[in-house]
Structure 1
Amino acid sequence: MFERRGGEELLEQDPAEQPPDGHVVFIGRVLSPWVERENCPRNMRAAREIGQAASLLIDEPYRPGLAGLERVTHIHALTWMHHAPRNLIVQKPRHATEAKGVFALRSPARPNPVGLHSAQLLSFDIETGRIELDAIDALDGTPIIDIKPYFPSVDVLADALMPDRSER
């Protein structure tokens, strides 16, 4: 259970209690050393600083979809942050001075708790469905929604601005 901080707001209806409409399927699970939320790095930069590798384990029916992945060095993994609350619409992170709407934050607590993890692809095995990554900021067992190749030619946004550290 998550404790609300001053300035935080909840949605009137929890999205977790609404009927599903997207037919999203999980294609595998994260294998990471992080079993408790308190120990999990809060972002990929922190995960890399710790230096702990991680893996994705893709379920058998989806393993043929890994063909061609040997052509890329990095991937985006999309996960379902299944332990995060879904009814918190305005949050006040511990490090922030003011509350912000969830769409201005990278917090996993949001109506659809989709995690985005851009990681270096170390190796993969189509037969076993195991993908080795340099790091991940997700709990062990976190469901995987999708994997996409990272393409520097389209994924790098040269004019993007970095928010102040206090804003992240």
Structure 2
Amino acid sequence: MEQKAFTVQAIGHIENNEKSSFIQLLPKYTEALEGLEGFSHLKVIYWLDKMDQPEMREIFQVASPYKQAPDILGIFATRSPIRPNPLAVSTSGVIHLDKENGRIQLDYIDAENNSPLLDIKPYTPSEDRVETPLVPEWSAHWPKNVETSGDFDWENEFNF
């Protein structure tokens, strides 16, 4: 199969600072928010623009960032920003939806300030939740949901 190139365009950006996190859509996309009211969480797809360097796209294995994992992992077994295509997907809670101004306040997102926003999708348990997922033994002790993840001692899990 031949390798294809794709063109993506940012639909806005992510604002992230010590105080809060926001999605800010470009004005032409604000009408796309219609019907989003009532969803408690969103899947946010964004570009890791600070990691978008040709040499980073050619790294396929990394020293494990996790203390209890094997020493070397393929990047697809990590959530590393080093990727062939520097895409990120986060599930974030919605605090406030301002449809008129195309602005969504989030409870948290693991994104750099001003990361280009590519898409948002509503989180729906029927499509996005796996009731009993299997994970490798080295990560089996991690929290089972985002609600308890904030209280977990993540600093003891990483090699950095």
Give TM-score scaled by structure 1 length: 0.71
Please show how residues 1-168 of structure 1 align to structure 2 within 5 Å: 21-33=5-17, 53-84=20-51, 85-96=56-67, 97-163=70-136, 164-165=138-139
Matches of 1:94 and 1:106, distance apart in 2: 9
- Amino acid of the structure 1 residue aligned with 2:21: A
* Aligned match of 2:143: none
CA RMSD of aligned residues (A): 2.1
- Amino acid of the structure 2 residue aligned with 1:74: H
- Amino acid of the structure 1 residue aligned with 2:108: A
- Amino acid of the structure 2 residue aligned with 1:27: I
Identity %: 32
- Amino acid of the structure 2 residue aligned with 1:92: A
- Amino acid of the structure 2 residue aligned with 1:158: E
Matches of 2:135 and 2:73, distance apart in 1: 17
Deviation at 1:143, TM superposition (A): 0.4
SS in structure 2 of the partner of residue 83 of structure 1: helix
Q: Which moved more, 1:92-101 or 1:21-30?
A: 92-101
* Aligned match of 2:151: none
Matches of 2:64 and 2:26, distance apart in 1: 35
SS in structure 2 of the partner of residue 71 of structure 1: coil
Contact 1:67 1:126 in 2 (8 A): yes
Matches of 2:43 and 2:116, distance apart in 1: 14
Residues matched between the structures, number: 132
Matches of 2:135 and 2:104, distance apart in 1: 30
Cα deviations by residue, 1:62-115 (Å, 9 ceiling, x for unpaired): 111111110311000000011113222111134344111111111111010111
Matches of 1:93 and 1:136, distance apart in 2: 23
Matches of 1:95 and 1:158, distance apart in 2: 24
Unaligned stretches of 5+ residues in structure 2: 140-156
Matches of 1:121 and 1:161, distance apart in 2: 28
